[in-house]
């Protein structure tokens, strides 16, 4: 044995249904271990253990055997640990769920090496003596607040990424928009791609990537001057909600990139923009199957104070 440190193991008791099957078959069918992760585990001293001993993936298992996967601990050496207040909704050995405030970037990028959520999370783990690599399952725009899920080992990241690709992760947002959708509830099915003239901007275009957003109008303020809408993403394109709401004539309040100048003429628009101070979008709920326990879990983040202030202002509209 070595002094290598490992993440919390994933164990599986072999049932009579798996009697005589190869280890690799059980790992693929019962646990959904990808080939890439399987190859990595085979090269790890204690990566794949059967009844406490290291085994080859071609070995056969028997009912009552205990199969265990152990992944080496690793850390994000390229991310500078930085003390930061974190609104932690949930954390176990496998997952970290955070309510991200607006104004914070999820992961360091060119020109933004500090002050990101990743810097704060890496520091949080370091303070707890945990050696973990920062692996977000998804990202939110800098000015979008709400629920962010972070995997604490490669298996969890693989499993949740696959759930995401299959559309099995429920992502629910709420947004304050100008105007009100013509249909109170509906679906925006409009492909999205980069604007050829401004690559950082997304547009609806016929030859874009399939993009689907479902929405429900929760409340209409005043004489259809603004609305609170709830949105569920079926796909996860960059800026999808912002682009789709602009597409149906209801851009987000405070969205400088996808706003419509005509709404600036509204007498209360300036005050609303100031109240929000950013695009009025919040990732309210995230639900998925826990990769280890296989239980359905759901996490919710209530509206932050800036959007509550905006809601109070809009509630005064006649």
Indicate whether 19 pLDDT > 70. Answer: yes
* 256 in any annotated domain: yes
One domain, residues 183 and 305? yes
* 300 in any annotated domain: yes
One domain, residues 291 and 230? yes
Domain count across the chain: 3
* 196 in any annotated domain: yes
CA-CA distance, 233 to 251, in Å (whole number)?
A: 17
| Tens of pLDDT, residues 235-282 | 889 999 999 999 999 999 999 999 999 998 899 999 999 999 999 999
* 74 in any annotated domain: no
Residue in 18, 77, 87, 141 annotated catalytic? 141
One domain, residues 197 and 128? no
One domain, residues 128 and 201? no
| Tens of pLDDT, residues 166-203 | 889 999 999 999 999 999 999 999 999 999 999 999 99
* 80 in any annotated domain: no
* 117 in any annotated domain: yes
Mean pLDDT, rounded, of the chain: 93
Beta bridge partners of 233: 213
One domain, residues 123 and 55? no
Q: What per-residue confidence (pLDDT) applies to 3?
A: 66
Task: Determine whether 65 is an active site residue.
Answer: no
Task: Using a pLDDT cut of 90, give the percent of the chain over it.
Answer: 75
CA distances from 196 to 193, 204, 277 (A): 9, 12, 29
Domain with 300 in it: what CATH number? 3.30.2350.10
Domain with 41 in it: what CATH number? 3.10.290.10
Q: What per-residue confidence (pLDDT) applies to 244?
A: 98
| Tens of pLDDT, residues 35-87 | 888 888 888 888 898 999 999 899 999 999 999 888 888 888 889 999 999 99
Q: Which two tokens stand for residue 17?
A: 């249904």
Q: What per-residue confidence (pLDDT) applies to 2?
A: 54
* 199 in any annotated domain: yes
Domain coverage including residue 64: 10-69
One domain, residues 157 and 189? no
One domain, residues 180 and 195? yes
């Amino acid at each position: 044995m070595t002094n290598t440190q490992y993440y919390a193991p994933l164990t599986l008791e072999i049932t009579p249904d798996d009697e005589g099957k190869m280890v690799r078959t059980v790992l693929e069918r019962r646990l959904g271990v990808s080939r890439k992760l399987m190859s990595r585990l085979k090269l790890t001293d204690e990566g794949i253990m059967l009844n406490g001993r290291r085994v080859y993936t071609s070995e056969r298992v028997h009912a009552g055997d205990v199969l265990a996967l152990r992944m080496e601990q690793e850390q994000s050496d390229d991310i500078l640990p930085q003390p930061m207040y974190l609104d932690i909704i949930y954390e176990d050995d496998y997952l970290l769920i955070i309510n991200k405030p607006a104004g914070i970037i999820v992961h360091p990028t060119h020109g933004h090496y500090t002050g990101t959520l990743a810097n704060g999370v890496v520091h949080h783990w370091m303070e707890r003596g945990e050696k973990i690599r920062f692996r977000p399952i998804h990202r939110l725009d800098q000015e979008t607040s709400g629920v962010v899920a972070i995997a604490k080992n490669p298996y969890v990241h693989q499993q949740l990424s696959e759930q995401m690709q299959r559309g099995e992760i429920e992502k629910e947002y709420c947004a304050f928009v100008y105007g009100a959708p013509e249909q109170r509830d509906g679906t925006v099915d409009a492909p999205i791609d980069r604007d050829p003239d401004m690559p950082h901007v997304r547009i609806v275009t016929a030859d874009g990537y399939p993009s689907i957003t479902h929405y429900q109008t929760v409340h209409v303020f005043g004489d259809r001057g603004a609305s609170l809408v709830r949105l569920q993403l079926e796909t996860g394109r960059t800026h999808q909600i912002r682009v789709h709401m602009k597409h149906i004539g209801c851009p987000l309040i405070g969205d400088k990139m996808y706003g419509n100048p005509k709404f600036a003429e509204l007498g209360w628009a300036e005050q609303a923009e100031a109240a929000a101070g950013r695009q009025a979008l919040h990732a309210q709920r995230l639900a998925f199957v826990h990769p280890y326990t296989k239980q359905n879990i759901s996490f919710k983040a209530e509206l932050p104070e800036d959007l509550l202030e905006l809601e109070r202002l809009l509630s005064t509209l006649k």
